[in-house]
Amino acid sequence: MAEKLYLTDSYLKEFRARVTAIDGNRIYLDKTAFYPSGGGQPSDSGTLVDEVGSKSAVIADVEKSGNEVAHIADEGHGFAIGNSVLGRIDWERRYAHMRYHTALHIIDGVVHRDYQGGITGGQIYEDRARMDFDVPNMDKAMMLSILEKAQEVVNESHAVSVKFLGKEEALSIKELSRTDPGNELLRKLDTVRVIDIEGFDMQMDGGTHVANTREVGSISMLSYENKGSHNKRVTIKLG
């Protein structure tokens, strides 16, 4: 099983690892800082280089493969099992994903705290992010108010930390997993990874985040869409 360094350190830009398996252009390592796509967050991209610099690969995509992580090279690479490699992630892309992911958690936290409803979906991009809502009587004016409140949280400079909880402790925290109201997924886990926006909101989550809400910057609305009585969509951009 690969050691997933991104779960404990979102700011790790490079790392050393060993190739454990090769399947065509899919490279498997004993440890990795590359985030695989999941939970609405795209994968990282970057490079792998061997210890003497004679072999390299541009990693265009990263996927989960059971308990392993597949680093997908965009062309031939020449690596072999046992090679030692230096991995470097595309930091600008990763950091953009981190900022948007934390912004979406803050918006979700405001909706959970102040409104009767919830989040039904979301997607992060490098230059924007969207969220879908099921909130009674939501309209564009309400959405703008939600974003204003979210901006207040950003400006309050809350620390953002990663915590690992045992199953029983996690189950004792109400609505820790809002997209899984019956806690079916949570009950399958022995250890639950949680993102804690300290003093504001706590959610079960597997993605990467900034260390302080102030890193999110300014939140603006690119678009608001009414996609049905139970589905309103906002697209945001960070400044």
Q: What is the distance between the alpha carbons of residues 153 and 129, in angstroms, rounded to a whole number?
A: 18
Q: What is the distance between the alpha carbons of residues 4 and 87, in angstroms, rounded to a whole number?
A: 13
Examine the pLDDT at 16 and tell me if it is beyond 80: yes
| Res. 185 pLDDT band, cuts 50 70 90 | confident
User: What is 3-89's CATH number?
Assistant: 2.40.30.130
Give the pTM.
Answer: 0.95
Task: Assess if CATH 3.30.980.10 describes domain 94-238.
Answer: yes
Domain range annotation of the chain: 3-89, 94-238
224's torsion region: left (phi>0), alpha (psi -120 to 50) or beta? Answer: beta
Examine the pLDDT at 130 and tell me if it is beyond 90: yes
- DSSP codes joined into one string, 176-222: SSTT-TT-HHHHT-SEEEEEEETTTEEEE--S---SBGGGG--EEEE
State the DSSP H helix or E strand holding residue 99, giving kind and residue range, or none if neither: helix 91-114
